Amino acid sequence: MTLDLSPADRAKFATARRAVDFVEDGMRLGLGTGSTAAWMVRCLAARIRDEGLNITTVATSTRTAEQARSLGIKVVTLDEAKWLDLTIDGADEFDADLNLIKGGGGAHLQEKIVATASDRMVVIADPSKEVETLGAFPLPLEVLAFGLNASRTLVEQALTSLDVAGREAVLRMNGDQPYRTDEGNCILDLHLRRIGDPRQLSMVMNQIPGVVENGLFIDICDAVVIGHADGRTETRDIATGSIDERQIDLDAAFATLGN
Ligand SMILES: O=C(CO)[C@H](O)[C@H](O)COP(=O)(O)O
């Protein structure tokens, strides 16, 4: 029963359930990372099982790969899949142009590679992720451990000449050790508060030696599905400007999960 879920989880489930409607038989699909993406993987597994769909997936993290495989979903590498029809992933923030901040879960490097190797990227989010201006959520930078402090100094120097409201770069920790990504790199979380020019910031950050990838997704996302705790969903498509509203029967949908 979805009644046992928190309002936040009901909203995540609603957006996830609506987003898997865009999956078609035979697709090669990118699977995002995070709590909303985890709901999407459960919904996808239910559709594959109930409708006998032939779906090949590429995961954006070991976490997601393990979850998908445990639910019987076929997972291959991106090189094996070659190219993807669709990627469905969460986000930490999105703006009116569907530019995103991602990487709260530390997976934005693989997420960006997978999303840009897809014909289409659909973001799944609850209304709290929508912002007028990106930057309240700290922007993650994946950075090589080698020369980390030098890279951090260069990042903070570069930020002084950019249109941002803060420039603190905080090393993400896992207990008393630096957090390590799937690639063994570290993450600097940039507390910028407001990002005036996300495109410029993204380009400047990726020029700094040691920075592997930043969490800004500019012109990558094609549509966002916003889910609400009462089962309402709204899908906005950036290319067509269309808005599609659907009501999900959360209890009925939850009963199909069976996992
Ligand atoms: O970018 C991500 C992981 O790197 C996630 O998609 C993002 O952090 C949103 O996660 P959640 O759905 O748990 O709020």
What mean pLDDT is reported for the chain?
97
The continuous run of DSSP H or E covering 12 comes out as: helix 7-19
Task: Classify 139-215 by CATH class.
Answer: alpha beta
Q: Which residue has the tokens 């930078």?
A: 141
Proportion of the chain above pLDDT 90, given as a percent: 98
What pLDDT digit, counting tens, does each position of 121-137 carry?
A: 999 999 999 999 999 99
Give 34 Cα–ligand 1 centroid separation in angstroms: 4
| Token pair in block for residue 109 | 């490097």
Q: In the chain, where does the domain assigned CATH 3.30.70.260 lie? A: 139-215
pLDDT (0 to 100) of residue 228: 98
Closest by CA to 244, choosing from 27, 41, 18, is 18
CATH number of the structural domain 2-130+219-257: 3.40.50.1360
pLDDT (0 to 100) of residue 2: 66
As annotated, the active-site residues are 111
Which residue among 35, 60, 94, 114 is best mutated to probe the pocket of ligand 1, counting the most ligand atoms within 8 A of its Cβ? 35
Ligand 1 atom showing the smallest separation from residue 107 Cα: 4
Question: Stretch 140-163: mean pLDDT, rounded?
Answer: 97
Cα separation of 35 and 40, whole Å?
9
What pLDDT digit, counting tens, does each position of 53-104 carry?
A: 999 999 999 999 999 999 999 999 999 999 999 999 999 999 999 999 999 9
pLDDT (0 to 100) of residue 183: 97
Ligand 1 atom showing the smallest separation from residue 35 Cα: 13
Question: Stretch 231-243: mean pLDDT, rounded?
Answer: 96
| Token pair in block for residue 215 | 């969490």
Q: Is 258 exposed, middle or buried (0-12, 13-18, 19+ CB in 10 A)?
A: exposed
> Residue type at 133?
T
Question: Stretch 38-54: mean pLDDT, rounded?
Answer: 98
Report yes or no for ipTM above 0.90: yes
Ligand 1 atom showing the smallest separation from residue 32 Cα: 6
User: Which residues sit with their C-beta closer than 6 Å to ligand 1?
Assistant: 32-37, 89-92, 102-108, 111
pLDDT (0 to 100) of residue 1: 66
* Alpha helices (H) along 58-106: 62-70, 78-81
DSSP state of 124: E
Proportion of the chain above pLDDT 70, given as a percent: 98
What pLDDT digit, counting tens, does each position of 103-119 carry?
A: 999 999 999 999 999 99
pLDDT (0 to 100) of residue 258: 78
- On whether the CB atoms of residues 169 and 201 are closer than 8 A, the answer is no
Which residue among 6, 10, 31, 33 is best mutated to probe the pocket of ligand 1, counting the most ligand atoms within 8 A of its Cβ? 33
pLDDT (0 to 100) of residue 98: 98
Give 101 Cα–ligand 1 centroid separation in angstroms: 9
- On whether the CB atoms of residues 62 and 35 are closer than 8 A, the answer is no
* Residue 241 annotated as part of some ligand binding site: no
Predicted TM-score (pTM) above 0.95: yes
Closest protein CA for atom 7 of ligand 1: 91
Residue 14 has pLDDT above 80, yes or no: yes
Residue 3 has pLDDT above 80, yes or no: no
What pLDDT digit, counting tens, does each position of 164-198 carry?
A: 999 999 999 999 999 999 999 999 999 999 999 99
Give 36 Cα–ligand 1 centroid separation in angstroms: 7
Q: In the chain, where does the domain assigned CATH 3.40.50.1360 lie? A: 2-130+219-257
Which residue among 41, 102, 114 is best mutated to probe the pocket of ligand 1, counting the most ligand atoms within 8 A of its Cβ? 102
pLDDT (0 to 100) of residue 259: 56
